[in-house]
Amino acid sequence: MLKRFGRSDDTADTIADIANFAGRAGPGPATPEPIDNERRQFRTIWISDVHLGTKGCNAELLIDFLDHTDSETIYLVGDIIDGWRLKKKFYWPPEHNDIVWRIMKRARRGTRVVYIPGNHDEMFRQFTGLNFGGVEIRRAAFHDTVDGRRLMVLHGDEFDAVMLAHRWLAFVGDAAYHLMMKLNGWVAKARQLFGLPYWSISKAAKHKVKNAVEFIGRFEEVVARAAAQRGVDGVVCGHIHTAEHRVFAFNRQDIEYWNDGDWVEGCNALVEHADGRMEILDWPAEIARREVATDKELVDAA
């Protein structure tokens, strides 16, 4: 079923695949959920740019995140599945199934799951307004925080000049990006071998390259301006794989820009706490802190 899901261009087949995939209870994940595991509770979680179907996806880190957090609502802010890669070469390890299984389990137990497809999973945009297995598919959404702010939620490729004007260049860039992801994977394995924490070479390079920094800055301003024009208090997006919080002023109105990052390079999520406070989580850093705390408990108990 998954191979047809990844390769089929027929709309009827795609609808059937999504329905079967979303509604499939299955025997359970290959990586079981921890028993009696304490989870950090949030009102809302935003994640994007997971890129299931690629080797660059940090599935183990995302599984760990899903096993240690819970929320009333979770927004999947695009590029969850990488249709561009799946059409070229099918790749779907058990860990990627486990991520989908965990998200669908949340939907079945009452968590509101809103899926906003991005450019890499744009094949799902034709199903906007429908509900599959408890997952709402939307082109964009509006979220009201508990303290009264109204946030526009969208993937963000709508404001990417390369995507809009030179789509062919976006595909070329995608191929180059995946070469970088292979290098990233080799570095990650080497660091793991030597007991070092996760670190992204591509993320570090992005922050050093002047053109990349300028592109990110322009993108953030354009998206924030679009939010101001729509009369909301802020925007949450993904797309550029750079977790960030900035405040822009347009016509004396402050507009919050939030980017929830990705699960390829930075492995970040955006969360809303019960009091409305928003926070970007750096999950590799969260794991490192958890491991230090565990080691300290073992030393204290010895």
Q: How far is CA 53 from the centre of its chain?
A: 14
With bands split at pLDDT 50, 70 and 90, how would you rate the model's confidence at 196?
low
151 phi-psi bin (left φ>0, alpha ψ -120 to 50, beta other) = beta
pLDDT tier at 265, thresholds 50, 70, 90: confident
**CATH code: domain of residue 278:** 3.60.21.10
Determine the pLDDT at residue 243: 95
Range of weakest confidence among 168-177, 183-192, 240-249? 168-177
pLDDT at 152: 97
Chain segment 200-224, per-residue pLDDT in tens: 545 555 555 445 556 677 889 999 9
Give how many domains the chain has, as a whole number. Answer: 1
Range of the structural domain that residue 180 is part of: 2-301
239 closest CA partner among 73, 96, 44, 50: 50
Q: Which tens digits make up the pLDDT trace of 20-44?
A: 544 444 567 888 888 878 899 999 9
Percent share of the chain, pLDDT over 70 = 73
Measured CA to CA, the distance from residue 244 to residue 241 in angstroms comes to 10
pLDDT score of 206: 52
> How confident is the prediction for the chain on average, in pLDDT?
82
Residues paired with 75 in a beta bridge: 46, 114
Task: Give the Å distances, CA to CA, from 29 to 18, 26, 35, 102, 107.
Answer: 18, 8, 13, 8, 16
The Cα–Cα gap between 228 and 248 comes to 9
| Chain segment 81-134, per-residue pLDDT in tens | 999 888 888 899 999 999 999 999 999 999 999 999 999 999 999 999 999 889
Beta carbons of 106 and 113 less than 8 angstroms apart? yes
Mean pLDDT value across residues 185-207: 61
Instruction: Return the pLDDT at 248.
Output: 96
Q: CA-CA distances (angstroms) from residue 285 to 12, 144, 167? A: 43, 29, 35
pLDDT confidence of residue 2 = 42
d(CA 15, CA 4): 11
Strand bridging mode 234-237 / 150-153: parallel
- Segment 136-159 shows an average pLDDT of 96
Among the listed ranges 22-26, 61-65, 180-184, 202-206, which one has the minimum average pLDDT value? 22-26
Q: Report how far residue 110's alpha carbon sits from residue 108's, in angstroms, rounded to the nearest whole number.
A: 6
